[in-house]
Amino acid sequence: MTDGEAIILDAVVAPGHDGAAELLVTLRHPNGGVETVALDGETGFHLMKSCGVSSAAELPGQPWRRILEGL
Amino acid sequence: MYDVVIRGGLVVDGSGEAGVLADVAIAGGKIAEIGQGLAAGRREIDAAGRVVAPGFIDPHTHFDVQLLWDGAAKPALEHGVTSIVPGNCSLSLAPLKAADRKAVVGMFQQIEEMPPEAFTIAFDWTWEDFAGYRDAIAKTLSVNVAPLVGHSVIRLFVMGPAAQERTAQPGEVAAMQDLLRECLDAGAVGLSTSFVDVDETGRPVPSRYADSAELDALCAVLGEFGRMLQVVPEFYATDITIARIDQLAELSLRHKIPTTFSPLFDSRGNADNAPRAIARVEEQFARGARVWPQMQTRPIDLSFSLLRPSLFFARLPRWVRVLRQPLAERIAALGDPETSARMIEDAGPDGGLAMFGSLVLRGGDAAPAELTGQTLAQIAEARGQGCARTLIDLSLEHGLDVAFLAASLGHEDTDRIGPMLAHPLVHIGASDGGAHLASFATYGDTGYLFSEFVRKGHLSLEAAVKKITSDTAEIWGLQNRGRLAPGWAADVVVFGADALARGDERPVFDMPGGGMRYTRDARGVDTVLVNGEVAYADGAYTDARSGVICT
């Protein structure tokens, strides 16, 4: 983790517009801004894998930049 | 003598005013008179104890393909929907060159989940231009159709494969403007575009390659006709959605056009999303812009099978590790007693009853049909197993092709959503009728509006009718529809105020080639008239083909 980067605050599962499960990831940006982004199944699993976790509950505290890894 | 008289019902005319007991007389496809003790009609419909309202209008559908063999857009009509808007989300079936059909079919299959046979055996491609498509569907319509033209197909028509590669040159933009103008002249009620959708290979649809200048140029043409721009914004991120609301507001103000975006839904995981978007819409309306958010009435269900990894299991590490494996390894792991025992342990001391017990077997898959509609808890009890064990074993017994439904997991809080639906700037829509065929039923949202929101006190009967009739017609500029008044089109639905609802979701195999889709029957709808002719009555469709292309 580095200073000045977005951190995952929370991650919960929710149904998406298409009826598939999505991961709602809440981020805190370095300027204090908080936003929530919905990830589809493939992207959500990719994030979990990049973070080395097997549960959404383990995502809080992880750096958001990990979503870029392996893309 | 009138053609039809609907006698003695509570007439809720779509204006929002209190309903009155009256007769409704129809002649020549139009409302002739509303009052008490009207003269006889050649056909008399007894509406005593029933509500008589304008036919409902569904502003967000994907019935473009289905209309080529089913002019009733079943089951939309039996739910009281007498007018539909297809061509949303940047996709329509015209204008479309023969050489580009394959590409557009792929996009439609991605969105609609329509079986391939729908495009090969159900109809003949007889058109390339918008007027040709309009004429192809107009012959057998039972519902009225107000078609949008899709930005992606306009782009494809002008640019060919480059439509999915780059921005347009000035000459190409001018050609798109001319083509849009031709479509609007031929009866299109607006343009749809998408910032989100992908084709069947995962590539962005053509509209996503347009720059803002191209969209602005097309909106200038919409401005010549005063027509609608429909948009799918990046609804997965609130801040981007709000930026799109601002962009739509500028387009609306600059070109004096209405705009609408969908979907907008509520979620416990992102509780600020819908309220923030609606607040921004209020600000933009205050400036004079027209940016209508479309919100669906129905809750969002979640469905999955073990054929593909689903984030439904994201809270269960052992399940995630197994389900992320390739199919063969996944099946082997699920069949391994030690591995499955650990997974079941993950599901809780009750064997997964709390976590999985309320899941419903959806049907339409490899599971025995008699299990359709049963909960996993019921099936587990009958098998003498725990719920997690049943989920695993039942899936293994049928090649993992067993679909489970977790009902009402999103957009489900009636006390939050009711006030939003009642908001004067929220457009009730986004049903997606005719899309997502193999994933869930997109029908019956109008019935759900009454069963869940009217009967629980969030909207009055009159307000709910207004929302999905005259409000919709006014937003879209549909002339002489959405009201029961002399001289207006006689699109009418007769229903029971305490009975109108949607039926349970069920699989049917009525797509071309025997393809499956999920559907819902209507509850409480007695009679539906389209342009003065009875199109649905006593639980059955008639032979009436009185639907028109309406603008």
User: Do the domain assignments include residue A42?
Assistant: yes
- DSSP annotation of B454 reads I
Q: B133 and B87 in contact (C-beta within 8 Å)?
A: no
Q: What is the pLDDT of residue A2?
A: 55
pLDDT band at A69 (very low <50, low <70, confident <90, very high): confident
Residue B324 to residue A57, Cβ atoms within 8 A: no
Q: Which residue of B has its CA nearest to A11?
A: B269
Say how many CB pairs under 8 Å bridge A and B: 99
Select from B103, B214, B205, B105 the least CA-distant residue to B164.
B205
pLDDT tens by residue, A9-33: 999 999 888 889 999 999 999 999 9
Q: What is the pLDDT of residue B384?
A: 97
**Which residues lie below 8 Å from residue B403, measured CB to CB, with a gap of 6+?**
B303, B304, B305, B361, B362, B363, B364, B365, B367
Number of structural domains found in chain A: 1
Residue A41 to residue B311, Cβ atoms within 8 A: yes
User: Do the domain assignments include residue A1?
Assistant: no
pLDDT at A1 over 80: no
Sheet bearing B291-295, strands edge to edge: B149-150, B190-194, B228-232, B259-261, B291-295, B427-428
Select from B59, B106, B467 the least CA-distant residue to B230.
B59
Select from B260, B416, B87 the least CA-distant residue to B96.
B87
Q: Residues of A with CB below 8 A from B362's CB?
A: none
Residue A44 to residue B309, Cβ atoms within 8 A: no
* Helix intervals (H) in B68-161: 101-112, 117-120, 130-138, 151-159
Please check whether residue B325 touches A, CB under 8 A: no
DSSP three-state, residue B285: helix
User: Do the domain assignments include residue A13?
Assistant: yes
Q: B525 and B453 in contact (C-beta within 8 Å)?
A: no
Nearest-Cα distance to chain A for B349, in Å, is 19
Question: CB B185: neighbour CB atoms within 10 A?
Answer: 11
Check residue B268 and give left, alpha or beta (phi > 0: left; psi -120 to 50: alpha): alpha
* Mean pLDDT on A33-37: 91
Residue A21 to residue B314, Cβ atoms within 8 A: yes
Cα B292 to Cα B274: distance, rounded to the nearest angstrom: 13
Q: Residues of A with CB below 8 A from B304's CB?
A: 20-21
Identify the residue among A8, A28, A54, A59 best suited for mutation to test binding to B, counting B beta carbons within 10 A and taking the highest.
A54
Cα B213 to Cα B95: distance, rounded to the nearest angstrom: 22
User: Do the domain assignments include residue A56?
Assistant: yes
Q: Which residue of A has its CA nearest to B406?
A: A15
* Among the partner residues B239, B315, B439, nearest to A55 by beta-carbon distance: B315
Question: CB A61: neighbour CB atoms within 10 A?
Answer: 10
Residue B236 to residue A22, Cβ atoms within 8 A: yes
* Mean pLDDT on A48-67: 94
Residue B270 to residue A14, Cβ atoms within 8 A: yes
* Among the partner residues B235, B236, B439, nearest to A19 by beta-carbon distance: B439
- The DSSP bridge partners found for residue B450 are none
Q: Please enumerate residues of A whose Cβ is less than 8 A from a Cβ of B.
A: 11-24, 26, 35-39, 41, 44-45, 48-49, 53-58
CA B479 to chain centre: 22
Nearest-Cα distance to chain A for B175, in Å, is 34
Identify the residue among B112, B311, B362 best suited for mutation to test binding to A, counting A beta carbons within 10 A and taking the highest.
B311
Q: How far is CA B411 from CA B268, B313, B546, in A?
A: 8, 20, 36
Q: Residues of B with CB below 8 A from A47's CB?
A: none
Per-position pLDDT tens, chain B of length 551: 999 999 999 999 999 999 999 999 999 999 999 999 999 999 999 999 999 999 999 999 999 999 999 999 999 999 999 999 999 999 999 999 999 999 999 998 887 788 888 888 899 999 999 999 999 999 999 999 999 999 999 999 999 999 999 999 999 999 999 999 999 999 999 999 999 999 988 899 999 999 999 999 999 999 999 999 999 999 988 999 999 999 999 999 999 999 999 999 998 888 999 999 999 999 999 999 999 999 999 999 988 999 988 999 999 999 999 999 999 999 999 999 999 999 999 999 999 999 999 999 999 899 999 999 999 999 999 999 999 999 999 999 999 999 999 998 899 999 999 999 999 999 999 999 999 998 899 999 999 999 999 999 999 999 999 999 999 999 999 999 999 999 999 999 999 999 999 999 999 999 998 889 999 999 999 999 999 999 999 999 999 999 999 98
Residue A36 to residue B238, Cβ atoms within 8 A: yes
* Domain region containing A38: 7-63
DSSP three-state, residue B527: strand
Q: What is the pLDDT of residue B113?
A: 83
- Report ipTM for this prediction: 0.91
